[in-house]
Each structure stands twice: as C-alpha cells, then as structure tokens.
A = this chain, B = another copy of it.
Amino acid sequence: MKPKLQTPIIIINFKTYLEATGTRAVELAKQAEKASKETGIQIAVAPQFCDIKAVAEAVEIPVYSQHIDPIKPGSSTGHVLAEAVREAGAVGTLINHSERQLKLADIDAIVKLANEKSLVSCVCTSNPPISAAAAYLNPDIISIEPPELIGTGIAVSKAQPEVVTSTLRLVRKVNNEAIVLCGAGISQGEDVSVALRLGTQGILVASSIVKAKDPYTIIREFADSAQ
C-alpha cells in the first residue's frame, strides 16, 4: 500500500548531482532522515534510479523515484519499470519534472500506473493552467516549479507569489485532495514559511540542499520553517 502522506512535506530531488550520487546519496538521505526525526516534518528523497535501493535500505524516510515509464513488464530495455523501483524500495515517483517532460497521455498513464503499483504520484508542472490540467488526472501531489527560477536562488514563493496562489485557486476548482507543493529557487527557511503561508503544503527542493557545504543545516532550517 502507499505510504501515508503527512503535510507539510519536503521532497529533496537529488537530480544527477555528483554530490548526491552513490555513497553520497546515502549520506544525504541520512541527513534528511535526521532532520525529519528531529522536527517531525515529513521529508522524502528522490535519488537516481541506481541509488534507490541503497538509499531505501539505509533510511526510513520515504524514497521516491525521479521518473517511471508508462510501460508494462517485458520488452522495454533501458526504461524504468514501476515494479522495479517499487521492489528497490521506492514508495513514490516524480512525474513530468521540467528536466524530464512527458506527453500529456503519458502523464495520465503513469499516474494510473503509480496508483496500481501503490506508488505516490507527484506531477511536476510549470505554470498555473498546466497545474490545473494535471489536477484533473488525480495525482497525489502536484508540484509547481516555474522553470526560469530553478537553480537561481530566487524563491518562487517570494518572487512570484501570484503563481503559487493562482495555482492553488485553479487546482482547487477541480481537485480538493491533491497535495500542492511549490519549488524553484527555495534557498532560505523564510522561502519555506512564505510558501506555506501562501497555502501550499510543502516544497520540492534540490540544489540549495544538494550543493550546500552542510546540507543538514539547510534541511533542518527548511524543516524548522515548515513547522
């Protein structure tokens, strides 16, 4: 069965950063787990495919895949099978991240597939209407990330609050259950508290944590600000 989602939630996307590859993926996940246990805030991590198993064995916090393909078991060499990430220990998956965009019909198919395989589905979107479109496909989580702010250190919650609020307004017209997160540029605790005050239920972050000299301090700051 799917893990229970608890809000606010912080999802850390490890992307393909070397700082979060292999043994460093496990280390980073442990620091996230430490901050999660200390603060009571749910923190999930999304390492690379190759690292899912080692990370899931090392920590108790939820592990997400960064992507799965809309395929059935069989002849799909080089693709990512829901069953494989599930058996490796993932309990959820990002879908349609701005660095791995998908066809509309595939997003629909993958959300359904994730449901069947008991994986939490987190669809990433880039603007309010696209978020609302995604909301109609009934994912568990929708995460809005304006691509132009990703990696800039300019937080969406502060630079474009209207993007966040109009996303929430449009999504809620058709979907009262999906958890709505925001991401892009989140680099300080205050960015997190502003995001929550705007009405989101958490954040999706990457570089500000993964590339930090002391990731634990940042994760902890974000988790503290989420309380």
Q: List residues of A whose CB falls within 8 A of some B CB.
A: 13, 15-18, 21-23, 46, 48-54, 66-67, 71, 73-81, 83-85, 87-88, 94, 96-105, 107-108, 125-127, 129-130, 132-138, 150-151, 170, 173-174, 206-207
Cross-chain contact A94 with B78 (CB below 8 angstroms): yes
Task: Pick the contact of A100: B78, B134, B173 (CB < 8 A).
Answer: B78
This chain's copy number in the assembly:
4
Cross-chain contact B84 with A22 (CB below 8 angstroms): yes
How many whole Å from A65's CB to the nearest CB in chain B? Answer: 8
Cross-chain contact B133 with A50 (CB below 8 angstroms): no
Cross-chain contact B129 with A136 (CB below 8 angstroms): yes
Task: Pick the contact of A15: B17, B75, B137 (CB < 8 A).
Answer: B75
Task: Pick the contact of A16: B17, B71, B136 (CB < 8 A).
Answer: B71
Cross-chain contact A83 with B133 (CB below 8 angstroms): no
